[in-house]
Homo-oligomer: A and B are copies of this chain.
Amino acid sequence: MRRIVFFATSWVVAATVALGDPLPSWSEGPARDRLIAFVEAVTDPANADFVAAADRIAVFDNDGTLWGEQPAYFQFLFALDRLKAMAAEDPAVLENDVLKAAAEGDLKTVLEAGEEGLLEVVNATHAGLAVAEFQAEVLAWLETARHPSTGLRYDAMTYQPMVELLRYLRDEGFETFIVSGGGIHFMRAFTEAAYGIPSQNVVGTLGETKYETEGGEPRVVKAPGIAFLDDKEGKPIGIDRAIGKRPILAGGNSDGDFAMIEWTTAGPGPRLGLIIHHTDADREFAYDRDSAIGRLNDGLDKGPGMGWLIVNMAKDWDRIYTGAR
């Protein structure tokens, strides 16, 4: 992960000037005020809402919460690029109509095949590689791939306000975790460099793996299939499995995050639930109830009644991407 070399000095500098103001990319206003008030309350031993550092667990969804997810999940775009590259070397890898459609960029056919269609693409492009080899492929892709509408590196499309929030929480004794429907091996290739979150704090969907000792070199190798889907009710279950503590802060942006935030905020004592609402068609994308990616209904309908903070990206964020002002 240390191999990621940041390519532009501008946003490295921007990411490190936060010493005085912990949340410089958040607009002055109630969202920012509420975040700071929560952190100050739970870290002040004299406050009735004080929480011991060991229990300051904060969890965040990744796609659409910490970085972009339009026009499709970035891991899926990686899989498509990899499939095309594999097919260029050996057309026989396109062994069915879904894979042929995917390699031609015909996403409609792939998406019409539902979860099985997506799994076909993931299996064809992820399985068979040792975990370390797979992650080298992800890093190489990040070096060359550019987002179709922003022209940015994908790992420069992290949200600067959220990167600042993660750092602020850690500076205040929180332990920060990603809890995402994305694949753990894909995410771990870049989460330490992008967010300061090490691999052991990344909870996600688990592809099957097997332990192989052929040729005398033991390896953990990616295999076809999904061992655990870290989405919806899977998120509180994934947190229980991997962390074993109920978080006091949870952030997400879609219905897939509802159960995680519900479980977090229903606990006793001070709790904070966050929904990142994509409202900024000019600087990012605007979508919620009708989007195929990142659909958001429950959080908007029930979140405010449970005291969740609904972050309005257009209004509450002075800046969007870490990699562009």
- Among B198, B201, B202, B233, which residue has its beta carbon within 8 angstroms of that of A211? B233
Question: How many Å lie between the Cα of A149 and that of B236 in the bound state?
Answer: 41
Which residues in window 58-99 of A have CB below 8 A to B?
none
Contact between chains at A218 and B200 (CB < 8 Å) = no
Identify A200's interface contact among B210, B243, B259, CB under 8 A: B243
User: What are the interface flags for A255-279 relative to B under an 8 Å C-beta threshold, 1 for contact and 0 otherwise?
Assistant: 0000100110010000000000000
Q: Decide: B199 and A245 in contact? CB cutoff 8 A.
A: yes
- B263, A200: Cβ atoms under 8 Å? no
Q: C-beta contact mask, A231-247 vs B, less than 8 Å → 1, else 0?
A: 00100110011111100
Contacts of A217 in B (CB 8 A): 266
Q: Looking at the complex, which one of B175, B198, B237 makes contact with A220 (CB distance below 8 Å)?
A: B237
Minimal Cβ-Cβ distance residue in B for A199 = B244
> 1/0 per residue A175-214: CB within 8 Å of B?
1000000001100100010000011111000100111010
Question: Which residue, A202, A217, A240, has most C-beta atoms of chain B within 10 A?
Answer: A240
Given contacts A217-B266, A244-B188, A266-B217, A211 and B237 within 8 Å (CB-CB):
yes
Give the CA-CA distance A13 to B201 in the complex, in Å: 34
A224 to chain B, nearest CB (A): 15
Q: How far is the CB of A232 from chain B (nearest CB, A)?
A: 9
Residues of B within 8 A of A201 (CB): 200
* New A-B contacts (19) at CB < 8 Å, excluding given A199-B245, A211-B263, A227-B228: A131-B240, A175-B200, A184-B244, A188-B244, A199-B243, A199-B244, A200-B200, A200-B242, A200-B244, A202-B244, A206-B241, A209-B240, A210-B233, A210-B237, A211-B233, A218-B259, A218-B263, A220-B237, A220-B263
Chosen A-B contacts, 17 in total, with CB atoms closer than 8 Å, are A131-B240, A184-B241, A185-B244, A199-B244, A199-B245, A200-B201, A209-B240, A210-B237, A211-B237, A211-B263, A217-B266, A218-B236, A218-B259, A218-B262, A218-B263, A220-B236, A220-B237
Q: Kindly list the 4 A-B residue pairs having the minimum CB-CB distance in the complex, ordered from nearest.
A: A199-B244, A211-B233, A220-B240, A218-B263
